[in-house]
Chains A and B, each alone.
Chain A
Amino acid sequence: MQRLRSLLVPDWVRYLPGLAFCLAFAFAGMNLDRFVSNYHKADEASLAIPALQLKLQEMVKSGDSGGSLLTVRTAIEKHRSALDKVGGTVGQKWGWATFLSEKAQLKYVAILLLGGILIRNTLPLPKSLYPGISIARAIIKPGIIILGVHYVWADIVKVGGVGLALVVVFIFGTAIVVMWLCKKWGVSDGLGGIMGAGTGVCGVSAIIATSPVVRSSPIEMAYAIGTILFFGTLMLFTLPYIGTSIDLSESQFGAWSAVAILNTAQLVAAAEWYGTEARDTAVLINVARIMLLPLVVLFSLWFYILRTGKLEPGQEINKWQLVKDKFPVFILGFFLLVFLNSLKLDALGGPKIAGSAFWALNSVYIWFFAVGFAGIGLSISIDDMKKAGGKAFTIGMVAALVKMVLGLGAVLLIGSRWLQVTGT
């Protein structure tokens, strides 16, 4: 019992109300998604059934073979089942559901993010919920580990290889250019360091890893965090619509969001919102992106402290320990599942083999994402984004715009084939 207790953080109870709230909100969001999706499918079925029945009659008259008749009959049955789910009949219309699902793209991600932002910024939430809400975001991590079952080594080599090249160019490119320009323009080392890492690697997470190394002041951290949150949130809600309007394929969008969106939580959300293929590509490239975090912190250390001889006398820095401390260990879980999936073991099955271990894992990942997205939505506070300002705002805006435009150009040049995850 004592050993079990030692596994828990001392004040774990204070996280429970917020976590329970996120779980309840995720449950409501997922059910609302299913509700809209059911009526959308019924609306499509209501239109499709008469046309299919007519086609069936013509096929019977012209004496078509059993195979094609069976295909049409199966399609009619599928549509009938969609109508039955909402208790509807042929001829009824649910245009609102089609609008919400297709035009407004109201999927569970959007419901949880927009709903969360609305709740957080308009309702007087009790403060007892905040600790749990803040840690709910991290629940996406087990979801990302589980997503490892969607990949095989061939994907890692192909998409991961292209992604790594993209990430190295964009992440290191952004970090180095931002830090160098900040130095040139007389921006303090504390702000230049965290803005370089923040706009380059993984947003607020990178600021947290880098700020103690480059000794940023609280006001610099506040400016940088507010700026990254502002542009990350702005890109989360604009990139999916830009992608749709220019007919960007899902895999291209996944790669674009993975290199362009400043904050990693927002990029996972944007890609999941765009589609499953977009998510698979984005998650893989994002894994490559966050793996570079320790190296960018190390670069900041060299650029601001070691290179300029600012190390205090007697102060020693263990670089290997620094890399170890900043390495996101959970990624190893992701690669373990990729490895196991690549072995194609009968005992584990696959995400599409019903009843297998990997199929079971795959069916729960969405709940981890849902609770995480509920946490992200409920954490986005306009008050936090209002801290954006000063030079950090200009740096963040320029970096976000440049990454967005160059990233789009790069994924358009690369094309879908090299960015598509096959999972086989």
Chain B
Amino acid sequence: MKILVCVDGEPHSNDAIQRAIYLGLTQSACVTALHVIDPWLKKFYNELYSQGRREYLEYVDECLASEAGQLQDRFVRMCQAAGLDAGFKTRHGDPASEILEEIGLSAPDLLITGYKQLTAWGRFRSRNLPLQLSERISQLIPVMSV
């Protein structure tokens, strides 16, 4: 069994990792974490009067890479503490599209995502990614929202 768990550093994604570790150990499943680096900030580098564009792009890359590194470290530590050998992948792009692409590529049997109870405004702002994913992916593979 192959499990793909989506991580973004939020507390609810930590819950998803815990569930993936539990299933990995009890079901002898192969667990891989996926972190999508969203390059949204980079598209503003060309604002009308922006100065120091290269410095800004390099800084955003550095911040996003550092965040991804920290996530990977935390994930590896959590898995090691539980005695599970798991993989970690990073992709760049729109989170929903990249997760779908990864599913097509690695064909997992189960996708685990974190779920946060959002207010109406929160759902509007986040485009309700977990729900979007569930709707789009549930036809392909089972999705577990934790």
Query: Could you tell me which A residues sit within 8 Å of B by CB distance?
Result: 130, 134-135, 137-138, 140-141, 202-205, 207-209, 211-212, 217-218, 221-222, 225, 264-265, 268, 290, 293-294, 325-328, 372, 383-384, 386-387, 389
Contact = CB atoms under 8 A, between A and B. Distances in A.
A265 B51 contact: no
Given A208-B53, A211-B59, A386 B124 contact: yes
Nearest to A376: B48
Given A134-B43, A386-B124, A386-B125, A209 B59 contact: no
A420 to B, nearest CB: 25
Pick from B43, B52, B56, B127 the residue with the most CB of A within 10 Å.
B52
B55 A293 contact: no
20 contacts: A130-B43, A138-B46, A138-B48, A205-B47, A205-B51, A207-B44, A209-B50, A209-B51, A211-B56, A211-B59, A212-B56, A218-B41, A218-B60, A222-B40, A265-B48, A293-B49, A293-B51, A328-B49, A328-B51, A387-B40
B46 A264 contact: no
* Chain B residues touching A, majority SS: helix
Closest 3 CB pairs of A and B: A212-B59, A205-B49, A265-B48
B43 A218 contact: no
Contacts of A383: 127
A420 B63 CA distance: 46
Interface in B25-72: 40-41, 43-53, 55-56, 58-60, 63-64, 67
A218 B49 contact: no
A208 B60 CA distance: 10
B5 to A, nearest CB: 21
A138 B45 CA distance: 11
A134 B46 contact: yes
Given A218-B64, A383-B127, A225 B44 contact: yes
Contact of A208 (B40, B56, B67, B125): B56
Given A217-B63, A218-B60, A218-B64, A208 B43 contact: no
Contacts of A265: 47-48
Contacts, number: 81
Contacts of B51: 205, 208-209, 293-294, 325-328
Nearest to A265: B48
A209 B52 CA distance: 6
Nearest to B49: A205
Contacts of B67: 218
A372 B48 CA distance: 9
Given A325-B55, A386-B124, A386-B125, A218 B63 contact: yes
Pick from A209, A294, A327 the residue with the most CB of B within 10 Å.
A209
B64 A208 contact: no
B47 to A, nearest CB: 4
A202 B50 CA distance: 9
Given A218-B67, A222-B41, A212 B48 contact: no
A387 B122 CA distance: 10
A135 B46 contact: yes
A290 B48 CA distance: 11
B56 A290 contact: no
A208 B48 contact: no
Pick from B48, B59, B124, B127 the residue with the most CB of A within 10 Å.
B48
A208 B52 CA distance: 7
Contacts of B127: 383, 386
A293 B51 CA distance: 9
A384 B38 CA distance: 13
Contacts of B53: 208
Given A221-B60, A294-B51, 19 more contacts: A137-B47, A141-B48, A204-B44, A205-B50, A207-B44, A208-B51, A208-B53, A209-B50, A209-B51, A212-B52, A212-B55, A218-B60, A218-B64, A222-B40, A225-B41, A290-B49, A384-B40, A386-B124, A387-B40
Nearest to A381: B43
Given A211-B56, A327-B51, A137 B44 contact: no
B56 A209 contact: yes
A317 to B, nearest CB: 13
A324 to B, nearest CB: 10
A294 B63 CA distance: 23
A204 B47 contact: yes
Contacts of A138: 46, 48
A137 B46 contact: yes
Pick from A138, A218, A326, A328 the residue with the most CB of B within 10 Å.
A218
A188 B58 CA distance: 22
B14 to A, nearest CB: 17
Nearest to A218: B63
B3 to A, nearest CB: 27
Contacts of B55: 212, 325
Contacts of A130: 43
Contacts of B124: 386
Nearest to A141: B48
